[in-house]
Amino acid sequence: MNYFNYQNDQLFCEEVPVAEIAREVGTPFYLYSHRTLRNHFRVFDAAFAEVPHIVCYSVKANSNTAILRLFIREGSGVDLVSGGELYRAIKAGVDVGKVVYSGVGKRKDEIDSALKAGILMFNVESDQELETINDRAAMLGVRAGIALRVNPDVDPETHPHISTGLRENKFGIDIEASLVAYRRASSLAHLDIKGVSCHIGSQVTKTSPFIDALGRLKDLIRRLREEGIAIRYLDLGGGLGIAYDQETPPHPAEYARAIIDASKDLDCTFILEPGRVIVGNAGILVTRVLYTKRNDGKRFFIVDAGMNDLIRPSLYGAFHQIQPVLRRAREEITADVVGPICESGDFLAKGRALPVFEQEELMAVMSAGAYGFTMSSNYNSRPRIPEILVRDDRWYIIRKRETCEDLTRGEEIPDFMNT
């Protein structure tokens, strides 16, 4: 459930008209519902209430510190993939004992920062990374909690760019080879083996791939325990999908039930890394129609948001529902929604049946709370857009719109060019 609804044919976020915010802050902007964010987190967390678990929200989905603070106040930990995300999480007040650090390319300085912070564990993705973490921990005089991210070779049946659990993907250690890696890890003095980790992909809309992966992980855990390697945590990653168009992903309660039923007597604390399922439908992108255009019979709505603001349609061919902020009787046509970026790949929708929009009208791009702002850029020297959070009948700017001055911050012209 989300709290973007029409009242008297005006689109509202909770109790605030979207058009009111647009008048104050301009367009485009990202808009999030506090009530939706909080409720989605609580529903997911409650689904696993009967088993020991830690929800570690996946920061990469939406990393605004206000949103991180919201989840942390609800008891969430975090799943990180960079030193910058660790910085954000600490700034937002995370309990470092609920932090897991994933990602295939951790730098030494990032590893050091996480070790000094005292995070729960690293999800290790290669033999060389294992050695590096042990070396850095030795230099700092600490022991590093680790899990090996194993690759179960399970097809998540999602877009190939966000599939991560197949043998051909860059992530993790092959599950058959992981026993050798665990034996090596047990011989390294500055590593504390805590768990097994797995992440099969993103926007997964069936429970069966998760259950297939879990079956293989259970067998690995049994074999590790037989060798005297104690496994206390099982990190199942994230990846549960949402409805963008016609998808019918399982409800978190259904997902949790399947996981719990398939893992009886496992005696592990589960770590879950939800991202999209929590924030995806809790946010929208609000944009304004700059121009309408025909090219040889083809119709275009040219808007002020582009692929630099929301790259998912260009990158993945992703579908985002598009709605008018002011609802009224309209003709329906087939059109492209395109932005101002100097690329033919700059679109938010292609060949879509849409209501006719007029110049200057507001358009809402739905389900944009995940992988929206976090994947945005300054391409074409366009300042990044603001993020707004609504709580009940009030709204808050949680990220200011960038200025042109921000675009050149940090740049310097060498002295020899000034003479």
Cα–Cα dist 268/111, whole Å: 26
Q: Within a 10 A sphere around the Cβ of 412, how many other Cβ atoms? A: 7
Q: What is the C-alpha separation between 111 and 7, in angstroms, rounded?
A: 50
Please indicate whether residue 198 is annotated as part of the active site: no
User: For the packed helices 252-261 and 208-226, what is the interaxial angle rounded to 10 degrees?
Assistant: 30
Tokens 């949103």 belong to 67
Q: How would you label 286-314 residue by residue, b for 16+ Cβ within 10 Å and e otherwise? A: bbbbeeeeeeeeeeebbbbbbbbbbbbbb
Angle between helices 127-140 and 108-117 (to 10 degrees): 50
**R_g of the chain, CA atoms, integer Å:** 23
Per annotation, catalytic residue among 198, 268, 342, 404:
342
Three-state SS for 27?
A: coil
Please, what's the b/e burial string for 111-122 (b: 16 or more CB within 10 A of its CB; e: otherwise)? bebbbeeebbbb
User: Which residues, at least 6 apart from 56, have a Cβ–Cβ distance to it below 8 Å?
Assistant: 76, 77, 78, 79, 98, 99, 100, 235, 271, 272, 273
Q: Which of 44, 37, 79 is nearest to 396 (CA)?
A: 37
Q: How many helices (H) and strands (E) does the chain have?
A: 12, 21
Q: Which residues are catalytic?
A: 342
